[in-house]
Amino acid sequence: MSKRYAIFLHRNVTDEYSPLFECIYTTEVLILLLFLSVVPFPIWIALNAQPLHRNLRYAFVLAAIQGVFGTISRLALLYSQMINITLERLIATLFWLWYEKQGRSTLLVLILGLAILESFAVWSACPLEETNSEHNGLCCRHWSFGKRVVILVCTLNIFRDTRYYSATIYENYAESEKESISINIHSAERIK
């Protein structure tokens, strides 16, 4: 029986290969942090490049800013995969005395948490997919939402359903292990 599994690595899967994945995640985080520390320089250079048209310079700056938000989103996803504590629960734990009073100000935690997730998803979906075509000698650009809307939905779902994916993949893994154990038992019985 073949099953398709979503590729979503979390601690239940990667702990088995602990030193390897710790090195991979550390390398990825270092590269992302290096990008975040270097990106202001190309932005500054693009803004001060006077021979280029202003719109071209701003397009480059917006692409760099979108890269920054994508990098921050990846860091947030890594945080979610490795630690799996939601922002709302983190605030509820750290500031429990204020949070448990259930005042109106605690609604800000929910609103800000959702706004942060939405902003990451919107910035990931902002630059539309661009294709160039030529029709009757005129060059045209077509803008389509296609993949970007899918990315928006997936980004929101990943943050919302982290625990669901973790539990589902673990259950599927446990079922496949049970099947392989029963197959091994049956083949061992045949050998006897």
The reply to whether the predicted model has a pTM over 0.85 is: no
Which ranges of the chain have pLDDT less than 70? 1-11, 80-81, 83-85, 117-192
Q: Which amino acid type is present at position 189?
A: E
Sign of CA dihedral 43, 47, 51, 57: positive
Contacts of 29 (CB under 8 A, 6+ apart): 75, 78
Q: Is 131 helix (H, G, I), strand (E, B) or coil?
A: strand
pLDDT of residue 156: 55
Rounded CA gap, 158 and 67, in Å? 19
pLDDT tens sequence across 42-60: 999 988 888 888 888 888 8
